[in-house]
Amino acid sequence: MESYFTKKGIPYACRDIRHDPAARQEWRERYGGEIVPMVVFDGGRRIVDGCDLPAIERVLRELTTPLPLAPS
């Protein structure tokens, strides 16, 4: 996943749950972690489990597409 984000120029942070107890605890408790990798977007509002590139690309499109303006 890191190479995917690097190639696309998308900033990311990698937290290795094998070596970081705090990351492992957050993965389990906050996100209900069962699958790695887990890709967390938008402060935890959107999560993609595994290497599901179509799902990741869909979330990225949704996060970068401006919402329509509400009628005034």
Q: Do 33 and 54 meet the contact criterion of CB atoms below 8 Å apart? A: no
Residue 37: which pLDDT band, with cuts at 50, 70 and 90? confident
CB-neighbour burial class of residue 56 (10 A; exposed 0-12, middle 13-18, buried 19+)? buried
Q: Where are the beta strands (DSSP E) in 1-72?
A: 38-41, 46-49
CATH number of 2-64: 3.40.30.10
Mean pLDDT over 9-34 rounds to 89
pLDDT of 70 higher than 80: no
Model confidence pLDDT, tens digit, residues 42-62 = 888 999 988 899 999 999 999
Mean pLDDT over 1-21 rounds to 91
Q: How far is it, in rounded angstroms, from Cα 16 to Cα 21?
A: 9
Domain boundaries, the chain: 2-64
Which pLDDT score, from 0 to 100, does residue 35 have?
Answer: 83
The two structure tokens encoding residue 47: 């999560």
Q: Do 43 and 30 meet the contact criterion of CB atoms below 8 Å apart? A: no
